[in-house]
Amino acid sequence: MKKVYDKVEVICIHKPDNTVVPLRFRLKNDDGEFETYTVSAFKPLPKNGTRTTKDGIYVSNSVDIFECKVHIFGLERTVRLYYDPRINNTWKLAV
């Protein structure tokens, strides 16, 4: 992953067992217009303590990391969504 977007808008489901399911996300492109993407599949990654991920994002055990498949311009791409419920419920995206 090469680029990280902060404060991504995400639609998700919060299940009764405290798991989170990301459904779609949107972000602003270079022209300032929103682009929306639907998550076709996802896999929660294991929590490995406090560390800096290979995307260069500093995470703790409270951060949920999701490896997601999305369709961008007709191609299936893998991206990572980072959800931190302890810091204002923020989401980050690594593309």
- pLDDT, mean over the chain: 94
3-class DSSP assignment, residue 44? strand
Report residue 47: phi and psi, to 5°: -85, 125
Q: Is the pLDDT of residue 22 over 90?
A: yes
- pLDDT value, residue 72: 87
List the chain domain ranges.
4-94
Mark 43-72 as b/e (b = at least 16 C-beta within 10 Å).
Answer: eeeeeeeeeebebebebeeebbbbebebee
For the record, the structure tokens of 36 come out as: 């929306």
Query: Residue 63's pLDDT band (boundaries 50, 70, 90)?
Result: very high
- pLDDT value, residue 1: 62
Query: Residue 2's pLDDT band (boundaries 50, 70, 90)?
Result: confident
Per the model's pLDDT, the better-predicted residue between 53 and 30 turns out to be 53
Q: Are 4 and 92 in contact (CB under 8 A)?
A: yes
